[in-house]
Amino acid sequence: MSRFIPVNRHQLYVLPPSVDEWLPEAHLARFVVEVIEQLDLSQFTSRYQGRGSVAYHPSVLLALLVYGYATGVFSSRKIERATYDSVAFRFLSADTHPDHDTHPDHDTHPDHDTLAHFRKTFLIELEDLFVQVLSLSQAMKLVKLGQIALDGTKVKANASRHKALSHGHIEKLEAQLRDEVQVLLQKAAETDAADDRDDLDLPAELARREDRLKALREAKTQIAERVKPRDEQAQKEYEAKIARRETQRQAGKKPRGPEPKAPEIGPKPDDQINLTDEESRIMPSHEGFVQGYNSQAAVDADTMLIVATRVTQQTNDKQQVEPMLAELKKLPETLGQVDALLADTGYFSAANVQACERSGIKPLIAMGRDSHPVPLAEYLAADAPKPNTGDPVENMAWYLKTREGKARYAKRKCTVEPVFGIIKQVLGFRQFSLRGLDAVTGEWKLVAMAFNLKRMYALAGA
């Protein structure tokens, strides 16, 4: 008698197998389907004109993408393969007829081209779906806006850092190619004069170099357009300094320091462009410099649900507070009112503090790095009296040093940073699949929506 359970991988079923029975009841895939079935997909379905073959329903493609991003499967090819290999993905693709004999014309395994085209086509509509999911989470009593933590993380672009060209290097390449063109023209003249044939295809070599010169000129033009806002800002600051010094002279005061120098207008030698994704930028990160985008997220401090997202080409977070405040204003009133914004020292500026005050939001933005560990005398000290001032920066600085302020600000590190850690380390999303600022903005929204659904699934089962 055998000590082992018999193994028969060719066991036949009396009745056709059901994927629905194979999938556990309390499964994330079921939750994704339940949520998507409650969303208004009219903006998706209205885009289908009814021409051509029967299309996959948007709810099926959306469920596959959302579940894929929520479980770390981002490639459309891998998602297509999973509809054959994974019970959860087969359930999402409505694969109730594995042999397809009864429905030979209706393949329930969307191919990767269909998935990739759907993701690229409906990026704008994802904005509305993201808000719908938040509203659904509010109806489930999972979220109510209050304290929001803001932070950013650098996500790699679908482009290599080694495909970037600086303005200075482009000029060197142009000079080199022009010299090569002159050498080839001279060689062509010598070959014609000698009535001799050469194995070198001179017209093709010349055309190739002319094409490269044209591409380099276009790259220089794009760099010049890119630096125009920087030049305009520098000129504005220079004129403000000149006007301030002139005002001092008219008041009979001698301006201190040397006269400000006019800014250098135009591209600098180190201004770069990436030939694969020209809208991506070189970004500093904890991994060194990466070719990517600065991906921002505002996270609810109580539930760790992402309530707003942005993607920017700017490496500095200081310019991201006001745009994020504008994103928060777009949220439905039923979600509640944001009453405090938590952010690290990278977001601090007097202008950002004042912007929060104007929006009716209490700013809790670190003004510097605190020493660790906190000295015992400072830890035990009583709160200082509130300053008698109307300056919002001074009031915020005082509040952050109070026990209440410290307790509230402490939630920032355990709110938004774990969200980025889960997205990058658990889900494995470290690089965009799409290219261009608008496209990666939509993909970051898809990542946030997938994270929220997974988080809602966990909160609902808690």
DSSP line for 76-115? HHHHHHHHHH-HHHHHHTT---TT-SS-TT--SS--HHHH
Give the C-alpha distances (Å, rounded to integers) separating 51 from 47, 48, 349: 11, 8, 54
pLDDT (tens digit, 9 = 90+) per residue, 43-67?
998 888 766 678 889 999 999 999 9
The pLDDT of residue 18: 79
Q: What pLDDT does 429 receive? A: 96
pLDDT score for 347: 95
Residue 111 — left, alpha, or beta (φ > 0 → left; ψ -120 to 50 → alpha)?
Answer: beta
Which pLDDT band holds residue 217 (cuts at 50, 70, 90)?
confident
Whether the per-residue pLDDT at 129 is higher than 60: the answer is: yes
| Residue 436 pLDDT > 70 | yes
Q: What is the pLDDT of residue 380?
A: 67
197 or 291: which leads in pLDDT: 291
Report the greatest alpha carbon distance in the chain. 110
CA–CA distance, 41 with 335 (Å, rounded to integer)? 21
Q: What pLDDT, on the 0 to 100 scale, is given for residue 96?
A: 42
pLDDT confidence of residue 102: 37
Strand residues in 119-215 grouped as ranges (E): 147-156, 164-166
How high is the pLDDT of residue 195?
A: 59
Band (pLDDT 50/70/90 cuts) for residue 361 is very high
Place of tokens 């019970």: 87
Query: Is residue 168 pLDDT above 90, yes or no?
Result: no
Residue recorded with tokens 């305009």 = 232
| Residue 386, pLDDT above cutoff 80 | yes
| Residues in the chain, overall count | 462
Average pLDDT over residues 166-187: 85
pLDDT over 70 at 247, yes or no: yes
Contacts of 51 (CB under 8 A, 6+ apart): none
Main-chain phi, psi angles of 347, to 5 degrees = -100, 0
Higher-pLDDT residue of 364, 270? 364
Q: Which backbone phi and psi does 278 adopt, to 5 degrees? A: -70, -15
* 314-324 pLDDT per residue, tens: 988 999 999 99
The answer to whether 338 touches 146, Cβ cutoff 8 Å, is yes
Look at residue 196 in the predicted model and tell me its pLDDT: 58
Q: What is the mean pLDDT of residues 289-294?
A: 92
Q: How far is CA 454 from CA 3, 32, 135, 451, in A?
A: 42, 8, 15, 5
Q: Which residues make beta-bridge pairs with 312?
A: 294
* 10-20 residue pLDDT tens: 888 777 777 88
Residue 388 has pLDDT above 70, yes or no: yes
The H or E element spanning position 383 is none
> Cα separation of 154 and 151, whole Å?
11
Query: Contact 149/298 with Cβ under 8 angstroms?
Result: yes
**Residue (of 321, 310, 44, 1) closest to 155 by Cα position:** 310
* Mean per-residue pLDDT of the chain: 87
For residue 400, pLDDT beyond 50: yes
- Is 274 or 419 the better-scoring residue by pLDDT? 419
Alpha-carbon distance of 342 to 346, in angstroms, equals: 12
C-alpha span between 457 and 136 (Å, rounded)? 12
Q: How many CB atoms lie under 10 A from the CB of residue 455?
A: 22
**What is residue 277's DSSP assignment?**
-
Q: What's the token pair of residue 48? A: 């289908």
**Who wins on pLDDT, 180 or 312?**
312
Closest by CA to 332, choosing from 152, 147, 137, is 137
Alpha helices in 383-436 (DSSP H): 392-400, 403-409, 416-421
Instruction: State whether residue 381 is helix, strand or coil.
Output: coil
At 172, is the pLDDT very low, low, confident or very high (cuts 50, 70, 90)? confident
The percent of residues above 70 in pLDDT, for the chain, comes to: 92
Residue with tokens 């994330």: 28
Stated as kind and residue range, the H or E segment containing 220 is helix 202-226
DSSP string, 269-333: TT-EEESS-TT-EEEEETTEEEEEEEEEEEEETTT--EEEEEEES-S-GGGGHHHHHHHHHTS-G
Quick check: 293 pLDDT over 50? yes
Which has the higher per-residue pLDDT, 342 or 97? Answer: 342
Distances (CA, A) of 64 to 146, 221, 428, 452: 32, 41, 17, 15
Radius of gyration of the chain (CA): 29
Average pLDDT over residues 410-419: 90
What percent of the chain is modeled with pLDDT above 90? 45
Contact (CB, 8 A) for 449 and 186: no
Instruction: Write down the pLDDT at residue 203.
Output: 82
CA distance 453 to 57: 20
What local confidence, expressed as pLDDT, does residue 99 receive?
A: 37
Residues 382-398 have a mean pLDDT of: 86
The pLDDT, as a whole number, for residue 357 is: 94
Residue 322 phi/psi, 5-degree rounding, is -65, -45
